Structure 1
Amino acid sequence: MSVDLKLDALGKALQRFHESLQYDESQPLVVDASIQRFEFCIELSWKTLKACLAQEGITANTPRESMQQAFAAHWFDDEKAWLSMLKDRNLTSHTYKEDLALEIYRRLPSHYQAMQALHTHLTSRFGHY
């Protein structure tokens, strides 16, 4: 998949993620849906980073490597935030505890903002659509 298609898919996924964050957390389905959309966006984010890095001649094979290389390239300025997103993704992907889910859910707005900022940066740098 080309970088343009990855950027387009990420943009659409981020729109859906943002939609889910507009609802009240008192609804368990909202929490579950938002976490699922976050997981999808974080996967698209690192795979998009990997493709963009490859266009720059930089190899990154894992989510962590992709994020570290993107930070080194100054594509975002808070590496710790991105590594925290990976940690949250791993926690939600492998276990489900309601209290942990709510804790992660409450971090999702800042995760969304970071991913949206990255998408904007990558689109201005690599996008042609």
Structure 2
Amino acid sequence: MKKLDNYRSALRVLEQAPLQDRTNEFVQSGIIGKFSLQFELGWKLLKALLVYEGDQVSASGSPREIIKRAFRYFDGMDEEAWLSMLRDRNDMTHIYDAVRASALVERIVDDYIPVFQRLEAFVLERYASGELDELA
């Protein structure tokens, strides 16, 4: 599944964030940008999985609705963490000071990367038979 492949590839890059100089503004900007991309790939992956499962809500296109519905479908999904990521993603455009940017980078490293990793592990386990290969 192309969406899963893209998700996994982007996650490998974001997983490098803890190894970087997170005090550097340029590095912070890069981590925040990679987080934004990973979040987009994540909710779109969830949308594709809901379509595969035959759920009609997935047609709405709303990240919030897709996250809430995916929480009902997929055991172990942390709805609050995903909604927190959605808020942070939406608020990113309003981060102008170094303190808020630094705090977001720490949440990304400490809280959000593990959430992305859990989704990856869940999808690989649940759809291990390769049945997602047919999805674009």
Structure 1 CA distance for aligned equivalents of residues 76 and 86 of structure 2: 15
**Residues 1:121 and 2:103 are matched in the alignment:** no
Larger Rg: 2
Q: Which residue of 2 aligns with 1:17?
A: 14
**Runs of 5+ unmatched residues, structure 2:** none
SS of structure 2 residue aligned to 1:65: helix
Alpha-carbon separation, structure 1, partners of 2:12 and 2:19: 11
Residues 48 and 75 of structure 1: CA distance in aligned 2, closer, same or farther (over 3 Å) = farther
Total equivalences in the alignment: 125
Aligned to 1:82: 82
Determine the structure 2 residue equivalent to 1:95: 94
- Alpha-carbon distance in 2 for matches of 1:50, 1:18: 23
Of all paired residues, the percent bearing the same amino acid is: 32
Unmatched 5+ stretches in structure 1:
none
Match of 2:69 in 1: 69
Equivalent residue in structure 1 for 2:46, among 38, 45, 49 = 49
Quote the Cα distance in structure 1 between the aligned partners of 2:46 and 2:74: 12
- Comparing 26-35 with 69-78, greater Cα deviation is found at 69-78
Report the Cα offset of residue 76 of structure 1: 3.1
Question: Offset at 1:71?
Answer: 0.7
CA distance in 1, matches of 2:25, 2:118: 28
Is the contact between residue 64 and residue 83 of structure 1 (CA under 8 Å) also seen in structure 2? yes
1:90-120 deviation per Cα after TM superposition (whole angstroms, max 9, x unaligned): 011x223222211111100210100111011
The root-mean-square deviation of aligned C-alpha atoms, in Å, is 1.5
